[in-house]
């Protein structure tokens, strides 16, 4: 089958558009699978790093539950508990934005007393990061949690 120049151009454009669509789908699937890997329970340690500026800070064992946020792509909710006397004590829940390129989870918390940035670098089955006061970015906590293994049925 012989094609004229116009037909050849249309075929090339269709091929380029198809490649672009598949590329975009692959990126969305990659980010979605990265987000899916975050879903579950995480446990570890939250350690005070600046007792001078944050004297009320205490080292804590922590448990986080991460869930998807409906209708907000790239966002997860982290529900945080500390373990006191062997029992979970709810500390708060925060929406985090996930940057797949940087493998970074970020959130901010602000009330009349504090303005904080919460940040975690995602390293496979480990979240490592901290809590920083804003606007000065002084770190108050260093946090390292590992994903809990799913119980076998």
Q: Residue 85 pLDDT > 90, yes or no?
A: yes
Distance CA 32, CA 73 (A): 8
Does residue 100 belong to any structural domain of this protein?
A: yes
Question: For the chain, what is the domain count?
Answer: 1
How do residues 131-150 score in pLDDT, each as one tens digit?
999 999 999 999 999 999 87
Residue 133 lies in a domain: yes
103: β partners: none
132 bridge partner residues: 117, 139
Count Cβ atoms within 10 A of the Cβ of residue 120 and give its class: 0-12 exposed, 13-18 middle, 19 or more buried.
Answer: buried
User: Could you tell me where the beta strands, DSSP code E, fall in 49-113?
Assistant: 60-68, 75-84, 87-99, 104-110
What does the alpha-carbon distance between residue 63 and residue 146 come to, in Å, rounded to a whole number?
10
Q: Are 143 and 128 in contact (CB under 8 A)?
A: yes
pLDDT at 66: 98
55-70 pLDDT, tens digit per residue, is: 999 999 999 999 999 9
Domain extent at residue 120: 39-147
Tell me the CATH number at 128: 2.40.128.120
Q: Is residue 3 part of a domain?
A: no
Q: Does the pLDDT of residue 25 top 90, yes or no?
A: no
């Amino acid at each position: 089958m012989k094609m004229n120049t116009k037909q050849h151009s249309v075929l090339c454009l269709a091929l380029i558009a198809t490649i672009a669509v598949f590329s975009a789908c692959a990126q969305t699937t990659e980010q979605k699978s990265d987000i899916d890997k975050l879903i579950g329970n995480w446990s570890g340690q939250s350690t005070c790093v600046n007792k001078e500026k944050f004297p009320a800070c205490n080292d804590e064992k922590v448990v986080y539950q991460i869930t998807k946020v409906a209708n907000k792509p790239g966002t997860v909710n982290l529900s945080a508990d500390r373990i006191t006397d062997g029992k979970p004590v709810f500390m708060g829940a925060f929406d985090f934005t996930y940057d797949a390129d940087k493998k970074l989870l970020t959130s901010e918390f602000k009330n009349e007393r504090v303005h904080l940035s919460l940040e975690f670098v995602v390293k496979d089955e480990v979240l490592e990061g901290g809590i920083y006061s804003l606007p000065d970015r002084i770190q108050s906590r260093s946090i390292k949690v590992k994903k809990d293994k799913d119980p076998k049925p």
